Each structure stands twice: as C-alpha cells, then as structure tokens.
C-alpha cells in the first residue's frame, strides 16, 4: 500500500486532514515518510543544503559556537546539540574546525535531535570517532550548558494554513475528490491565537502557523537561560508570513505538494516573528542575512586559504560554492540567521542585538 493509498483511506474514514497532519505523515511516516526512507540530501538527492555545499559552512558556524563557549568561561561538560542534522556533515565540519579550540571538543557531549532512523545511521557513520547521543524530543536535552545549531530544521516542521473569512478563519485541509488528493477549506471559526493577524490581513488572505516551532525554541531558550549556552538558527523565511509558502521539491525541481506524498520534500517559510516570540528569557540577535553573517565570520579569507590547494574543476566548484552560500541572489539573502544567548552574555560573533 502506497502512502497515497494510506492517506486516501484515512480521509475516507475520518474526513479531511489538517495540513500539519498531512505534512508530518508525508515527512515522517514510519515506512513511507520522506525523511524515513530517502537520503534526500546532496547533489544526488532532491535538494542541497548549506553544509553540503561547502565545508566552510560547518567550520565557521562551529567556530562561532566555540567563541560563545569561550566567552562564557568554557563550561565543561556541555551539550553540543544539533536539530535535524541531515547527513551529519555540519557537525563533522564543526568538530574538525573546533578541534583547535583547546578543550572544546573534549568537553562537548554531542546530542542530536533526529526523527529519522535512516538518517541517524547516516549521521553515526559521518561522525565515526565521536560518540553522539540521539534524542526524540527537545525536552530530553540535558540540564546543562547547551550550545546548539539548527540549519533548515524549522522549515521542515508541519504548518497549518488559515484563510480569513470576516473576523473568522477557515482552515485549509487535504481531502479526496474523484480519487485525487485535493485542498479544501473547513468551516469559518474564530481563532483566538490568530487575533493579532486580524490587524494586517483582509478577507481571503492566507496565513500560516507552525504549532511546534515556538514551544521548541522556548524549551531551548529556557535551557540556555538557566545553564548558559547559545543557539544559532539558519532558515529561509520572512518576518510575519502572509500567503501560501508550502513547497514541495523533488529532483531539485518544484513539485505539487499533493502529487507524490512521501516522495517530495515538503517545507514552508519560517515566520521569524512567531519564532522570536519564544526567545525570552534569552536575548536574540537581529535576524541577519546568511551572506552577511558568513562574511563577518571571515568566509572570504577561509575560501582563499582553501583555494590555494585547489585547481581546475575543484577550484571552480569551490569558488561557486562560496558564491552560492553568500551572494544576495543565491542563498545569501534568502537564508537568514539569528542567535540567542543568556541575557547579559556576549552575542555570538557576526551577530548583533
């Protein structure tokens, strides 16, 4: 039975599905989920992420966390955490680069939040020689100083969509029409949690809500405020989302989100405003374009140093990777970053409050 058949049967039995349920089934279904079955990353996969583009991304972000660790008195032991580590490339590059920061790697207890058993195996393989521990829920983060990174994690969290109808909202659902999965709208209902969006929307506007995002960041902020640490988040998105940003990608090309459940990556823009509301009791930096942040951390100097030992096609690929990560017309502007630190602590390098 394919995932499409499973979803169709479920909708026939229980009625139209909420979009967040559809999205989490497509991504994480134990047998057919996109992340559970596929190895979607890298040039051979459906999409390519910053750490897969160049080792420089993991090196620089790892060093930024190590600087924050030094600024906070080099606590030992501490949790070095990553949310949704994919193939484990970022963590491996970060550990290699920070091995020169005295005491950092030795004191780091590597903790990975990963839902996919298949990707856990890939991560274990990439991180051979280290002893990572995997957690299923963010609440399992140890009660100790925590330095955490998340790249393209929040965009994979399931969203709900609501269309404004007067002072009420109609939730977008996935139903079945003539045997096909189709979008539909539920009944108009008040949504007290969306009251603030009545200010900046009009009838017919669509807005999105990612129910898991803020509670997750809130747990991280509480750990960091209580025990010290820092978090560095990268994703693409906007300040206060408006409009449908759900997207499916298969074989590096856009696809219809309902076309091949479980076989395409499904993501949505991150609403940085909603996410940053969960930061107190910590201090957040400004949301900063990825390109600006990487330039401030010295990516050009690092790129030049690496270029010295390259020639021919490898050199061309390296130059292209640098451009791809930083150029405003590539990932440099679309992707944004922010950091969080305890109140009164020095902000991560490359970011400002």
Distance, CA of 339 to CA of 326 (rounded, Å)? 18
Contact pick of 45, 85, 261, 262 for ligand SAH (by CB under 6 A): 85
- 156 lies in the site for ligand SAH, by CB under 6 A: yes
- 45 lies in the site for ligand SAH, by CB under 6 A: no
Shortest CA distance to 230 belongs to which of 343, 310, 87, 151?
343
- 62 lies in the site for ligand SAH, by CB under 6 A: no
- 52 lies in the site for ligand SAH, by CB under 6 A: yes
The CA dihedral of 223, 227, 229, 231, to the nearest 10 degrees, is: 10
Burial class (CB in 10 A: 0-12, 13-18, 19+), 159: buried
List of residues 6+ apart from 296 with CB closer than 8 A: 349, 350
Element (H, E) at 122: helix 117-126
Q: How far is the CB of 27 from ligand SAH (least distance, A)?
A: 6
- 33 lies in the site for ligand SAH, by CB under 6 A: no
Using the minimum distance from each CB to ligand SAH, give the nearer residue, 8 or 337: 337
- 35 lies in the site for ligand SAH, by CB under 6 A: yes
Distance, CA of 240 to CA of 217 (rounded, Å)? 17
Which one of 113-121, 139-147, 203-211, 251-259 is the stretch in contact with ligand SAH (CB under 6 A)?
113-121
- 49 lies in the site for ligand SAH, by CB under 6 A: yes
- 236 lies in the site for ligand SAH, by CB under 6 A: no
- 22 lies in the site for ligand SAH, by CB under 6 A: no
| Number of other residues whose CB lies within 10 A of the CB of residue 260 | 16
Site for ligand SAH in 310-349 (CB under 6 A): none
- 86 lies in the site for ligand SAH, by CB under 6 A: yes
Using the minimum distance from each CB to ligand SAH, give the nearer residue, 91 or 284: 91
Which one of 44-52, 91-99, 223-231, 251-259 is the stretch in contact with ligand SAH (CB under 6 A)?
44-52
Using the minimum distance from each CB to ligand SAH, give the nearer residue, 28 or 70: 28
Contact 20, 184 (CB under 8 A): no
Whether a cis peptide bond, with omega within 30° of 0, leads into 306 is no
Distance, CA of 2 to CA of 8 (rounded, Å)? 10
Total of chain residues touching ligand SAH, rule CB under 6 A? 20
Burial class (CB in 10 A: 0-12, 13-18, 19+), 46: buried
Using the minimum distance from each CB to ligand SAH, give the nearer residue, 151 or 283: 151
Which one of 68-76, 83-91, 139-147, 165-173 is the stretch in contact with ligand SAH (CB under 6 A)?
83-91
Contact pick of 46, 93, 114, 235 for ligand SAH (by CB under 6 A): 114
Select the residue whose beta carbon is closest to ligand SAH and give its number.
84
Contact 32, 10 (CB under 8 A): no
Contact 186, 16 (CB under 8 A): yes
DSSP 3-state percent helix, strand, coil across the chain (nearest 5) = 40, 25, 35
Contact residues for ligand SAH (CB under 6 A)? 27, 35, 41, 49, 51-52, 84-86, 90, 113-116, 119, 151-153, 156-157
């Amino acid at each position: 039975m394919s995932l499409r058949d499973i979803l169709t049967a479920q909708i026939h039995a229980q009625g139209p599905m909420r979009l967040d349920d559809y999205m989490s089934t497509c991504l994480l279904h134990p047998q057919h989920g996109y992340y559970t079955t596929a190895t979607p990353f890298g040039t051979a996969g459906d999409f390519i992420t910053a750490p897969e583009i160049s080792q420089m991304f993991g090196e620089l972000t790892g060093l930024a966390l190590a600087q924050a660790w030094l600024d906070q008195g080099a606590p030992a032991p501490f949790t070095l955490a990553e949310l949704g580590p994919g193939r484990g490339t970022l963590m491996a590059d970060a550990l290699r680069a920070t091995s020169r920061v005295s005491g950092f790697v030795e004191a780091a207890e590597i903790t990975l939040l990963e839902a996919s058993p298949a990707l856990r195996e890939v991560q274990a393989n990439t991180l051979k020689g280290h002893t990572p521990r995997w957690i299923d829920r963010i609440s399992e983060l140890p009660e100790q100083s925590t330095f955490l990174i998340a790249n393209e994690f929040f965009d994979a969290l399931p969203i709900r969509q609501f269309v404004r109808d007067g002072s009420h909202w109609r939730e977008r659902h996935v139903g079945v029409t003539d045997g096909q999965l189709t979008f539909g709208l539920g009944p108009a209902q008040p949504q007290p949690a969306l009251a603030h969006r009545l200010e900046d929307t009009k009838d017919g506007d669509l807005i999105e809500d990612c129910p898991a995002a803020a509670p997750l960041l809130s747990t991280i902020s509480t750990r960091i405020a209580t025990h010290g640490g820092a978090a560095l988040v990268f994703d693409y998105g906007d300040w206060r989302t408006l409009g449908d940003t759900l997207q499916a990608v298969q074989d590096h090309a856009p696809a219809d989100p309902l076309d091949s459940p479980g076989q395409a990556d499904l993501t949505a823009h991150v609403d940085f405003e909603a996410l940053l509301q969960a930061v107190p009791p910590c201090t957040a930096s400004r949301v900063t374009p990825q390109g600006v942040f990487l330039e401030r951390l010295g990516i050009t100097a690092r790129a030049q140093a690496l270029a010295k030992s390259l020639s021919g096609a490898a050199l061309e690929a390296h130059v292209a990777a640098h451009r791809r990560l930083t150029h405003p017309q590539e990932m440099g502007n679309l992707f944004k970053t922010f950091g969080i630190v305890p109140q009164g602590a020095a902000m991560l390098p490359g970011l400002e409050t």
